[in-house]
């Protein structure tokens, strides 16, 4: 029986043939890729849960906390300023390049990413939909003016010279762990146009993805021949809803992720493999077909 005819019945793939089902699925063309943090770990950006599926320590900043407290904003920007060089210096890895290779060959029709690191775009997938926004942009919450993070980084460096001299552990959201003593005294930059509050152009916890963006992603899934999830635990509804929609429409669903996901029972094929090597091999096999 073709494992992709009946979403919800997880396929048992014989040893040594782990990738064959995914190759067959992508060979049908028209796939939509939904990517998550696990795709970027090989670029040096930590994911949220790791291979065990257990959430890493640390509480993410919520939208309500950020907008309601100047001290919370100071803490966020101090940590984000410290972690920014690692994000700015990150480069697409083999997984990102394989996805773009599959897109150029017509096997992948569209990419939706939960990541905010911009690495799909850097790999050439310019039309990848950044579901949660991107760290490389900044928006003023008052006048809605947007600017680049590179511009803001220069301003923060001028306001806080030498602040990044200490080594710090990078977190999945692009910020870094810092003691409160290091945060105290950090100077936050305001919007140059109106003096308003600046926020990274990303969707924080407690904030909704813009409805037009969600609707666009639904349209991509509805037009797809299949949905392939790469490196996402699907722990939050913003990504899981697309898997549920595909399964309801009886579209084939495949998940490649190291560690369990909330969508496993909806997948016709579930693979636990390193993404860079796995997707590079899939692209090679399809090129050779």
Is the domain of 236 the same as that of 272? yes
Is the pLDDT at 165 greater than 90? The verdict is no
184 labeled binding residue: no
Per-residue confidence (pLDDT) for residue 11, from 0 to 100: 47
Structural domain span for residue 155: 57-89+136-202
Residue 14 binned pLDDT confidence (cut-offs 50, 70, 90): very low
Indicate which CATH number applies to the domain containing 157. 3.30.1600
116 carries a ligand binding annotation: yes
Same domain, 69 and 179: yes
Is residue 51 in some structural domain?
no
Same domain, 178 and 249: no
The answer to whether 140 is a known ligand-binding residue is yes
Token pair 């003096």 is found at 195
Confidence at residue 180, expressed as pLDDT on a 0 to 100 scale: 87
Looking at the predicted structure, is the pLDDT value of residue 8 above 60? no
Instruction: State yes or no: 180 annotated in a binding site.
Output: no
Same domain, 104 and 193: no
CA–CA separation, 26 vs 20, rounded Å? 10
Number of domains the chain is built from: 2
Domain stop point among 182, 202, 222: 202
Q: In the structure, what pLDDT confidence band is assigned to residue 152 with cuts at 50, 70 and 90?
A: very high
Check 96, 97, 120, 132 and give the catalytic one.
132
State pLDDT tens for residues 101-146.
Answer: 999 999 999 999 999 999 999 999 999 999 999 999 999 999 999 9
Percent of the chain whose predicted confidence (pLDDT) is above 90 = 80
Residues 20 and 158 in one domain: no
d(CA 186, CA 1): 61
Q: Are 61 and 158 contained in the same domain?
A: yes
Q: Is residue 259 domain-shared with residue 215, that is, in the same domain? A: yes
What is the predicted pLDDT for the residue at 171? 76
* Residue 52 covered by a domain: no
Least confident of 8-12, 17-21, 76-80, 237-241: 8-12
Say whether 217 counts as a known binding-site residue: no
Is residue 81 pLDDT above 50, yes or no? yes
Same domain, residue pair 195 and 223: no
Residue 275 lies in a domain: yes
Same domain, yes or no: 119 and 178: no
DSSP letters for the chain: --TTSSTTS---PPTT-TTHHHHHHHHT--EEEEE-GGGTGGGT---SS-TT-PPPSS-PPBHHHHHH-HHHHHHHHHHHHHHHHHHHH----HHHHHHHHHHHTTSEEEEEE---S-HHHHTT-TT-EETTEEEEEEEETTT--EEEHHHHHHHHHHHSTTGGGS---B-TTS-B---HHHHTTPPPPPPTTTS--EEEEE--BTSPPPHHHHHHHHHHHHT-SEEEEES----SHHHHHHHHHHHHTT--EEEE-SS--TTGGG-SEEE---HHHHHHHHHHHHHH-
pLDDT interval class at 4 (50, 70, 90): very low
pTM: 0.90
Question: What pLDDT does residue 288 have?
Answer: 87
- Any domain includes 150: yes
16 labelled ligand-binding: no
Residue 132 designated active-site: yes
Is 114 known to sit in a ligand binding site? yes
Residue 63 has pLDDT above 50, yes or no: yes
- How much is the average pLDDT of 243-270? 97
CATH number at residue 127: 3.40.50.1220
The average confidence (pLDDT) of the chain is 90
Clarify whether residues 221 and 96 are in a common domain: yes
- Please give the pLDDT value at position 49: 54
| The pair of three-digit structure tokens given for residue 175, joined into one six-digit string | 């910020």
Q: How confident is the model at residue 176 (pLDDT cuts 50, 70, 90)?
A: confident
Query: Per-residue pLDDT for 52 more than 70?
Result: no
Q: Domain check: are 79 and 99 in the same one?
A: no
């Amino acid at each position: 029986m073709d494992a992709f005819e009946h979403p919800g019945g997880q396929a048992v793939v014989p040893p040594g043939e782990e990738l064959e089902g995914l190759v067959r699925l992508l060979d049908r063309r028209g796939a939509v890729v939904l990517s998550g943090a696990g795709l970027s770990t090989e670029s040096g950006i930590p994911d949220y849960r790791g291979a065990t599926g257990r959430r890493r320590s640390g509480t993410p900043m919520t939208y309500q906390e950020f907008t309601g407290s100047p001290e919370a904003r100071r803490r966020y920007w101090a940590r984000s300023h410290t972690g920014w060089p690692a994000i700015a210096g990150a480069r697409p890895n083999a997984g990102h390049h394989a996805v773009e290779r599959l897109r150029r060959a017509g096997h992948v029709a569209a990419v939706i990413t939960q990541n905010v690191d911009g690495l799909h775009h850097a790999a050439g997938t310019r039309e990848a939909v950044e579901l949660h926004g991107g760290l490389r942009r900044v928006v003023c919450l008052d006048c809605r003016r947007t600017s680049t993070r590179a511009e803001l980084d220069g301003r923060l460096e001028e306001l806080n010279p030498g602040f990044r001299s200490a080594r710090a552990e990078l977190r999945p959201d692009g910020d870094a762990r810092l003691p409160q003593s290091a945060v105290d005294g950090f100077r936050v930059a305001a919007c140059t146009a109106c003096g308003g509050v600046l926020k990274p152009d990303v969707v924080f916890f407690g904030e909704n993805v813009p409805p037009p963006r969600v609707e666009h992603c639904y349209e991509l899934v509805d037009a797809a021949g299949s949905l392939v999830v790469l490196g996402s635990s699907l722990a939050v509804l913003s990504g899981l809803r697309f898997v549920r929609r595909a399964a309801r429409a009886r579209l084939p669903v495949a998940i490649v992720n190291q560690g369990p996901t909330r969508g496993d029972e909806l997948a016709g094929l579930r693979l636990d493999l390193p993404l860079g090597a796995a997707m590079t091999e899939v692209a090679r096999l399809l090129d050779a077909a």
